[in-house]
Amino acid sequence: MFKKDFFWGTATASYQIEGAFNQDGRGLSVWDVFSRWPGKVRDGHNGDIACDHYNRYKEDVKLMKELGINAYRFSVSWSRVLPDGIGKVNEKGLDFYDRLVDELLKNNITPFMTLFHWDYPYELYRKGGWLNPDSPKWFLEYTKVLCDRLSDRVQYYMTLNEPQCFIGVGHKWGGHAPGLRLSDYDLLYAVHNTLLAHGESVKYIRENAKTKPHIGFAPCGIVAIPSTGNDVDAARRYMFDNSDIGRNAVWMDPVYLGKYPKEFGEQVGNLPKIDLDADLKTISQPLDFFGCNTYHGEIVTTDSSGNVITLRKPVGNTRTAINWHVTPEVLYWGPKLFYERYQKPVIMTENGMANCDTISFDGKCHDPQRIDYVHRHLLSLKKAAEEGVEVDGYFLWSLLDNFEWAEGYNERFGIIYVDYQTQKRTPKDSYYWYKSVIEANGENL
């Protein structure tokens, strides 16, 4: 059973839906620049127009209302609010979020605000971005602007979305903005500054919000599925026993447990000009919930020497349009093992499916695969809840088809189809299905 006041939501992110990239004084983000770098984004797509949500948010909130969600996760474009990342506030940009929040509340939808979902201000990147020792203070300055203006109405916050991706993919492997391939040494600073930014931000919101804040963050929840009942410990080890910045522990342990994984912590502790103990105090500000984004996972066991190994998926295992394996057990094992380790109520801040959607002759968009995907994942989540994991919410990615980063518009994740030529929105079958699940609080699953 899902609890009575369960948050049924959908999630989006600013760069992926807003468009209006040069409207009303918005500054550039690293994604504006990266998407103009030939070969980086499939088919040369960019977020200049996207879903034009900046100009159509009222229509989109109306669709949310009809869907029946009681929570909506969106992110703020930092460079729309502070075109240079710090300094002068762009009032028109800030006004947009003010109006969006009012529109949501008017429709009884609780705003879940993500402060940073990858669209880093280009002007701050030019100053060294996450490598700059002042970068946590820049994020604090940005937090202040949002908190001072919106915290009379916004109560749910997530500081950062998926640092594994914007640092790992963006700064180590170069596949996302800003497209860097930093050395492991530089990456230690980038990780540490990112976590400090999170901590400074939480501290400010906690001390200054005008209404009681509920704060978390939204890392990738990398999940392992035990191959058999004897492999649960292998799953734990896969998920937490490592210092890989693409996995969980480097990001979650300092935040929730106040310490880095051993080897990583030693390296950070040896960096010049770092006071590790003091910094970890800042980083581990108490949080109210455990948010994470999970789409798929690995199946694990141990070999004859006791090492954890991942197994190939069974031949013919279903994949989504973006080629990710469908492994619905992740929404059981993820919440279960995260809850066991971090002891915070779990909110799935993202989960959903890319599908080859089209508008059929009948003018509708039929996406039975997505219904099946979400159905199976929600059953897993429900099972975790029934076994005692405190589960507070589920945010389906995504409300609208949108700009899927390096994949451009080729992958459709929405439960509302977007015709990018006309901006016409067509709710898919999954939209109506999700509506019925929300109405029944998941009892009809």
- Catalytic residue positions? 162, 350
Provide the residue count of the chain: 445
404 touching ligand FCB, by CB under 6 A:
yes
| Between 49 and 309, CB nearer to ligand FCB | 49
Q: Which is nearer to ligand FCB, 130 or 204 (CB)?
A: 130
- First-to-last alpha carbon distance for the chain, in angstroms, is 10
CB-side neighbour CA atoms (13 Å) of 241: 10
For ligand FCB, what does the binding mask look like between residues 346 and 365, x meaning CB under 6 A? ----x---------------
Using CB under 6 A as the binding rule, whether residue 14 contacts ligand FCB is answered as no
Measured from the CB of residue 406, what is the shortest distance to ligand FCB in angstroms? 10
Q: Minimum distance between the CB of residue 229 and ligand FCB, rounded to whole angstroms?
A: 30
Q: Which is nearer to ligand FCB, 101 or 396 (CB)?
A: 396
What x/- string results for residues 322 through 351 when contact with ligand FCB is judged by CB under 6 A? Answer: ----------------------------x-
Give me the DSSP letters along 213-245: -EEEEE-B--EEEESSGGGHHHHHHHHHS---T
The partner residues of 110 in beta bridges, in order of sequence, read 71
Q: Is 13 in the site for ligand FCB (CB under 6 A)?
A: yes
Q: CA–CA separation, 225 vs 326, rounded Å?
A: 12
CB of 194 to ligand FCB, least distance (A): 15
Query: Which residue among 413, 417, 431, 433 contacts ligand FCB (CB under 6 A)?
Result: 413
* Beta-sheet strand order (sheet of 7-11): 214-218, 156-161, 110-116, 71-75, 7-11, 391-397, 346-351, 290-293
CB of 164 to ligand FCB, least distance (A): 9
Task: Single out the residue of 363, 350, 356 nearest to residue 410, CA to CA.
Answer: 356
CA–CA separation, 224 vs 109, rounded Å? 33
Shortest distance, CB of residue 109 to ligand FCB, whole angstroms? Answer: 20
403 near ligand FCB, judged by CB under 6 A: no
Interaction with ligand FCB in 109-168: which residues (CB under 6 A)?
A: 161-162, 165
Contact pick of 397, 409, 417, 433 for ligand FCB (by CB under 6 A): 397
Residues 6+ positions from 260 with CB-CB distance below 8 Å: 243, 249, 250, 253, 254, 268, 280
* DSSP string over 27-74: PPBHHHHHTTSTTSSGGG--SSSTT-HHHHHHHHHHHHHHHT-SEEEE
The least distance separating ligand FCB from the CB of residue 405, rounded to whole angstroms, comes to 6
The H or E element that residue 161 is part of is strand 156-161
76 binds ligand FCB (CB under 6 A): no
405 binds ligand FCB (CB under 6 A): yes
HEC sequence for 79-104: HHHCCCCCCCCCHHHHHHHHHHHHHH
d(CA 103, CA 54): 13
Q: Does residue 177 belong to the site contacting ligand FCB (CB under 6 A)?
A: no
- The residues, any chain, with a CB within 8 Å of residue 212's CB and separated by 6 or more, are 155
> Amino acid identity of 98?
D
Is the CB of 165 or the CB of 209 nearer to ligand FCB?
165
- CA distances 28 to 77, 78, 111, 216, 394, Å, are 10, 9, 25, 27, 32
Q: If binding is defined by CB under 6 A, does position 293 make contact with ligand FCB? A: yes
Task: Tell me the CB-side half-sphere exposure of residue 85, using CA atoms within 13 A.
Answer: 22
Work out whether 367 is an interface residue with ligand FCB (CB under 6 A): no
Centroid of chain to Cα 265: 25
Q: Which stretch binds ligand FCB (CB under 6 A): 166-174, 307-315, 386-394, 397-405?
A: 397-405
- Of the pair 246, 269, the CB lying nearest ligand FCB is at 246
Residue closer to ligand FCB, measured from CB, 232 or 245: 245
Provide the minimum distance between the beta carbon of 323 and ligand FCB in the complex, in angstroms, as a whole number: 12
Q: Are 225 and 235 in contact (CB under 8 A)?
A: yes
Residues numbered 240 to 269 that lie near ligand FCB (CB under 6 A) are none
* Residue 350, number of CB atoms within 10 A of its CB: 26
State in angstroms the smallest separation of the CB of 327 from ligand FCB: 15
Residues that bind ligand FCB (CB under 6 A): 13, 16, 161-162, 165, 293, 350, 397, 404-405, 413
